Structure 1
Amino acid sequence: MLAHLRDTAGGTGVSMSADAIEEALAQLGGIRRIGLISPYTEIGNVAVSQFFVDKGYEIVALANLGGQSPSRISDVHLQDLRRAVETANVPEAEAIVQVGTNVPMASFAHVAEQWTGKPVVSNNAVLYWHALRMGGIRDQFDGFGSLFRRC
């Protein structure tokens, strides 16, 4: 799929969640043990977990946001995000990774880093970060987590 998108884009860089997350975890220090936050139903959780395992990551905790259907993935509240971070934030986790582009977690990830002391990678923010880096933009700034501040 990525090759097709790159071909269709005619040389313009293409960023996909899987690549962006892998690059971010590498840039954040070669993180391999993650607490995972997923908005998907059980079948989606199995698939996304298997993706990470196949790539050599160890999922040490899985927090589900309780998505009942694809159209309701974004139907989460601040307290849902907090509970998910608390569940994923086990001592073994080197970072917390949230998947699902329709989850409104970008600004909350920065807040969660303050009390977990770990990188919290939000799917939408990491896509933006990756696209900027692919475009040669290396600006660093506060307010959006350690990824934007350090990498």
Structure 2
Amino acid sequence: MTIASVPHPCFFYGSLMEPRVLSSVTRPGPEADIYTVRASIEGYIRRPYHGAPYPGMISSQDKMQAVEGLLVFGHTLMDRFRLDQFEGSEYTREVLSVKILDPVPGAYNVEDGHKPLSPGDLVQAYVYIFTGPFEHLDQSREWDFGAFQRDHLDVWMKTSSDFENDS
């Protein structure tokens, strides 16, 4: 880990699971060493934001409920700053336990220099939790990543001021 790296990986459960969105937000340089693995977090639910293509994740009364997403290793402090700005005031960054679902190869496969990471292991990760107002979320349904990619991604990437447009 370099001095410019953040101490925890980041867990993403919404639009930032899409590589184009994540890269547009963090703008990693050519020297970036980012690795992504599927992961999940228990005790939370993911709900769509009313009138927007992204979700919010909130605590669930069912502690066995899980949200699947991506665990991303290798972000710098500047990347995290950009993520904080992107998430805005309705989301709070917390450090929570996230379960790894796939093997973690290479330089990222050791937690705190002690043991290799394996599927099923828990790691501490930065997670952006939705903090309200809760009426902004549609509590009647689960957010659908496939629908986001199919129905919203291309238009969002071209029109959102959060992203750098190369065209």
Which structure has the greater CA radius of gyration? 2
Q: Which has the higher contact order (CA 8 A, sep 6+)?
A: 2
Q: Which has the higher helix share?
A: 1
TM-score (norm 1): 0.31
TM-score (norm 2): 0.29
